[in-house]
Every structure is written in structure tokens, then in C-alpha cells.
Structure 1
Amino acid sequence: MQGGLDFQQLVGALGDGVIVCDAAGAIVYWNGAATRIFGFGEEEAIGQSLDLIVPQRQRERHWAGYHKTMATGQTRYGNDVLRVPALHKEGKALSIAFTVAMLHTPAGEVSAIVAVVRDETERWGEERKLRARVTQLETVQA
């Protein structure tokens, strides 16, 4: 506890999913919001690879970026939001948005990566419907 603030309680109470992975990509922390978003309980997620929630067709690209980030200690997604497909425990597709933060050892080496995740599946679906409607109206007026 730092300055009276309980960080474990804080992260557990967030509405956004918080997932921490070690340098190899194994999940070492999974909060309650991550369970709500992805359907996997903490006991199911801890120790598992991120392949748990990364769709098969995205895995090669995901791991290439992950390993590059771990090797260089740099990512552009600390400030920029990354929007990608993901998987729910039941197999349904999700649209998620997230930012990441790098954690370092005292020697300055990257030890873990934190992802703060939001489920945007509903919003993404609404945007697709609006774009389709705009296209339809533009076609009718042409």
C-alpha cells in the first residue's frame, strides 16, 4: 500500500479488464473485468498463453509484435489505442480496444506487459450499422 492506496483493490475494481503477462506471454494477472469481458475466470486464465483470447488468424501477427515489444521495450500502444478482434470463452468474436504499459526489472529489462482492455463489440456493431445505413442512403440519392 502506497500513500494509503490499495492498488490491488483499485485494479480489481476497475470496469476495464487488466491483464498482465510475463515476457514469454503467460498471463500472470487477470482482474474481474477481464473475466466479465472474456468469460474466463482468473483460475482459468492465470498461467495460460494469450492464445486463450487471440483468434487463430491473428496469432502470428500478435506474437511477432509481442516479441518485438519485449525485445525492444518499446510500443506505440502505450498512448495509442489498439483495436483488435478477440475471443470469448464461448467462442464468440469480440471487438476490443486496449492500451499497454511496460513493466521493468530494477536493471531496466522488460519483465511484463500490462493491457488495459475495453469491450467495444456493441459499439463496433452500431458503427457498422450506421456506415451501412449511410452507404444505403448515399446510393438512393445518387
Structure 2
Amino acid sequence: MNMKIDFAELVHSMGDAVVISNAKGDIIYWNSAAERIFGFSQSEALGSSLDLIIPERLRHRHNEGYEHSMQTGTTRYGDKLLTVPALHKSGKPLSIAFTVSMIFDANHQATAVAAVIRDDTERFNEQRALKKRIAELEGQSK
């Protein structure tokens, strides 16, 4: 069966956010799931720095790593699921899980990074509450 897939439509309709940023870290693609997860419309996000969704305390470290990846064309996170804090437009903290992929031009120069992102806040909060409860129960048994 030879079926054509409209990849733009697929990415637009995904339940996970797809965010692509250029070599400078400016957002160049933002799907509807990114709007839902982060609260920023596509027009608000496009052209903005990734700092839009990165907590202030983590921006310096993120930007250093991003710059290094762009210069070297490598990332140590290529096949790993990352879980990190993020920010919603309202200022509400989020926990996100995502994978990244480097995008290269014809000369194999890094030109962008694509991330597929899922809101992991509920699972993160449940896990934190369970750990707290376990610690309380262990404290009672001593």
C-alpha cells in the first residue's frame, strides 16, 4: 500500500508539542499542542527565544549547552528522554518530558533543533507525593 502522509498536518495534529528552534535559539515552529501545553499562541512564540518557556534559573546553563550543540553539531541527549522544569505563560511551573533532534544543512552544519515535548507535570507531582508519603511512613516505622 503506497500511502502519502502529509507530515505538516501530522505534526500540527499531534498530541505532543513540536517545537523547532534555529541556531540562535529562536522558535521557528510551534504546533497547536505547544500552544495548549505552554499557553503561548503560535504568533507569540514564533521568533521568540526559548527563554519563553525556560525558568530563569536554568536559562544560562541551557543557553551554554545549546550554543555548544550548535557549534559542534552534537548533543548528548539525542536518544534520551529528558525531564526538566518549564514555564507556562501564566508563570505556572511545568514538568516536561522531551526528546531532541539536531537538524543539519547540506554541509552538515547544525541549523536547528527539533523537540517533541509532553506535559509531564501530573506524573511528576504524583511521584513526588508518593516519595514524600514513603519517607513519612519510613519515619513512623523507626
TM-score, normalising length from structure 2?
A: 0.96
AA of the residue aligned to 2:53: I
Identity percentage over the alignment?
Answer: 52
AA of the residue aligned to 1:96: I
1:85-104 → structure 2 map (5 Å cutoff): 85-104=85-104
Report deviation, 1:77. Answer: 1.6
Other structure's SS at 1:135 match: helix
Instruction: Identify the residue that residue 130 of structure 1 maps to in structure 2.
Output: 130
Render the CA deviation track for 1:16-67: whole Å, top value 9, x for unaligned: 1000000000000000110010000101100000011011100000001100
Other structure's SS at 2:77 match: helix
Report deviation, 1:76. Answer: 2.0
Report deviation, 1:83. Answer: 1.2
Instruction: Identify the residue that residue 38 of structure 1 maps to in structure 2.
Output: 38
AA of the residue aligned to 1:101: S
Q: What runs of 5+ residues in structure 1 fail to find an aligned partner?
A: none
What is the aligned residue count? 140
- State the distance in 1 between where 2:49 and 2:7 align: 25
1:1-142 → structure 2 map (5 Å cutoff): 4-142=4-142
- State the distance in 2 between where 1:136 and 1:68 align: 42
Q: What runs of 5+ residues in structure 2 fail to find an aligned partner?
A: none
AA of the residue aligned to 2:32: G
**Stretches of 4+ aligned residues off by more than 6 angstroms:** none
RMSD, matched Cα: 0.8
